[in-house]
Amino acid sequence: MIVVRRNNYPYFPENFLWGGAIAANQAEGAFTADGKKANTSDVQPYLKGLSNQEIQELEKEGMTLKQVREHLNDTTHYYPKRHGIDFYHTYESDLEMLAQMGFKTFRTSIDWSRIFPNGDEKEPNELALVHYGRMIDKMISLGMEPIITMLHYETPIGITLQYGGWQNKQVIDMFARYGKILLDHFGSKVKYWIVINQINMIQVEPFLSLAICSDQFENIEEAEYQAVHNQMVASAKIKEYAKGLPYDLEIGTMVADGTAYPFSCRPDDVVLAMRHNRMQYFFTDVQFNGAYPQYALNYFAENKLAIEVTAEEKRLLKENTMDYLAISYYFSQMVDSSKNVDKPESVTPNPMLSESPWGWKIDPQGLYNTLSQYADRYQKPIIIAENGFGTYDEVENGEIHDDYRVDYLSKHIEQVGRAIYDGANVIAYCAWGPIDIVSCSSQQMSKRYGFIYVDLDDEGQGSGERIKKDSFDWYQEVITTNGEQI
């Protein structure tokens, strides 16, 4: 039995955008439809028999060139993201179900490997543009404000194999060409654009984020920071182009929350947390302030990382800062000076918190902290681009009773209202995976986030039927009351 309670911080503005978010690579399927070719997500197999922790450890290791080539030709394993939930063909009925909850906005991505299958073509794939035009039109017809991500882990695999991933400066213009095509075709319909999903995930998901293989470069950290620099320059080029178009466009950047608490009040813990957090703010400092901060330059020098930055790139970054910040938030983390080092990926779980089956520490107040820190630092509009609870669901007599999901989301939404009360200009809340999709990190369908259940298992078996969970009616009430009842 779902219990709806009153929000202690019901401070959501009248025009607040309630909705949800998915990614093309996790939902669409249709791997070879209409001229599409493989992207970085399409070469990730489901590894049956591994624990959740083992799957996540493999992800952090990245992928080798040999593995990429093997996966492209592999007929043994199941590749879930090539199939997704068939959203490419079912988007109309799926969006209609989401509209029943009263969605004001819907965030999804356009797959670069559909528009430019190899990444380096001069002309776009018109069939893909027609498809996405129809999808966007459907969203608008249902009263949803589109929030479109240009790149959500869908770099064409040709960029990895032929150019060495985003580390190659040639990729800047390839992606800028793609971004300009999207703005030309859809700029009159789509106001909110996220250029690159979670641009700070370079140590956590280096292959998906940067299309770089772990064995392609002698100094992989240097290659990663060069690659993300190139992504920021490409984003600035797209922003510069957008300023010349006759549309009301908002071009945003997105980060996954990677800030950390100090483990204790020991000065070493406090200072390590401060230094860790600065290197998380680095990405947004550059994209909102238009220049590299001294602490980042020091980090590069101390770690012998040579990042090539031209005078023209400095100009682009300075003159084309981002309009808003999109954030994904799922859990919080800590740093302990007795265990961790001054590296962004070196963190410690918080023993004071409960966790999901995938070890993600549940911390609603961490969202309040994150939103407040970013709001204070930049005074920019904020979109919560992802927030959700991935766990196992059980179907009982055709029903899914997911009070645990409601409990997680209810407590996090309350903290969003609290941040708004304190002055954070949060304009949208997108629950992650409002319809079940393939997990980004584990390739599993069994790691479910949705208000709508999709009858498919980890190996793609099932009817594909959509079933409303108890949380469906709960979120409908949240939207109807504009966050007063949670």
- Would you give the DSSP letter of residue 383? E
Listed residue (97, 90, 125) closest to 111, CA to CA: 125
DSSP-derived secondary structure for 161-204: HHH-GGGSTHHHHHHHHHHHHHHHHHTTT--EEEEETTTT-TTT
| Non-local CB neighbours of 396 within 8 Å, separated by 6+ positions | none
- 330-to-3, 132, 143, 144, 388 alpha-carbon distances in Å: 22, 29, 27, 24, 6
Residue 486 maps to a domain: no
12 within some domain:
no
Q: What's phi and psi for 14, nearest 5 deg?
A: -60, -35
On whether residue 319 sits in a domain, the answer given is: yes
Q: Which domain holds residue 132?
A: 17-480
Domain assignment present for 385:
yes
- Report whether 277 contacts 293 (CB < 8 A): no
Residue 287 in domain: yes
Extract the tokens encoding 309: 């930055």
The DSSP H or E segment spanning 327 is strand 324-328
As a 3-state breakdown, the chain gives helix, strand, coil percent values, each rounded to 5, of 45, 15, 45
Answer yes or no: is 2 within a domain: no
CA dihedral 158, 161, 162, 166 (to 10 degrees): 80
Report residue 129: phi and psi, to 5°.
Answer: -60, -40
Per-residue pLDDT of the chain (486 residues; tens, 9 = 90+): 687 899 999 999 999 999 999 999 999 999 999 999 999 999 999 988 888 778 777 777 779 999 999 999 999 999 999 999 999 999 999 999 999 999 999 999 999 999 999 999 999 999 999 999 999 999 999 999 999 999 999 999 999 999 999 999 999 999 999 999 999 999 999 999 999 999 999 988 899 999 999 999 999 999 999 999 999 999 999 999 999 999 999 999 999 999 999 999 999 999 999 999 999 999 999 999 999 999 999 999 999 999 999 999 999 999 999 999 999 999 999 999 999 999 888 999 999 999 999 999 999 999 999 999 999 999 999 999 999 999 999 999 999 999 999 999 999 999 999 999 999 999 999 999 999 999 998 899 999 999 999 999 999 999 999 999 999 999 999 999 999 999
Provide the domain count of the chain. Answer: 1
In a domain, 1, yes or no: no
CATH of the domain at 148: 3.20.20.80
